[in-house]
Amino acid sequence: MNAPRTTATKYSQERLMTVLLAPVISEKATQIADKHDQVVFRVAPDATKPEVKAAVELMFKVQVDSVQISNVHGKEKRFGRFIGRRRGWKKAYVCLKPGQELNFAQEA
């Protein structure tokens, strides 16, 4: 009998290690973490929900309940009379299963 495949075994480990770029540490992210047991990550622009779930489970050894992803558009900025735009990026809200916790202060 074959053992059930987890989401982490579906993707290569090299790909999963490049999906998560950094945790988003902000006042809003801290409030979301306290209220909804969610963690906010900056992820690769081509990352998908299953890849983010597999990457978090692989790297932090926690169980993920769900993932929501949003694209953050870059702000338009002026430099004198010239108009430029900051680069856009992708953000993932990772909802952990009850009883799971992710603390970045202990990881460092």
Residues whose CB falls within 8 Å of the CB of residue 89, separated by 6 or more in sequence, listed in order: 42, 45, 71, 72, 74
pLDDT of residue 90 exceeding 80, the answer is: yes
Q: Which is nearest to 55 in space by CA: 6, 4, 103?
A: 6
Mean pLDDT of 35-53: 94
Q: Which is nearest to 64 in space by CA: 18, 2, 6, 17?
A: 6
pLDDT of residue 48 exceeding 80, the answer is: yes
Domains and CATH numbers, the chain: 7-99 (3.30.70.330)
Question: What pLDDT shows up at residue 102?
Answer: 79
Mean pLDDT of 1-25: 78
Question: What pLDDT shows up at residue 105?
Answer: 66
> What pTM was computed for the model?
0.81
Beta bridge partners, 68, equal 93
Cβ pair 62, 106 in contact under 8 A: no
Beta bridge partners, 38, equal 95
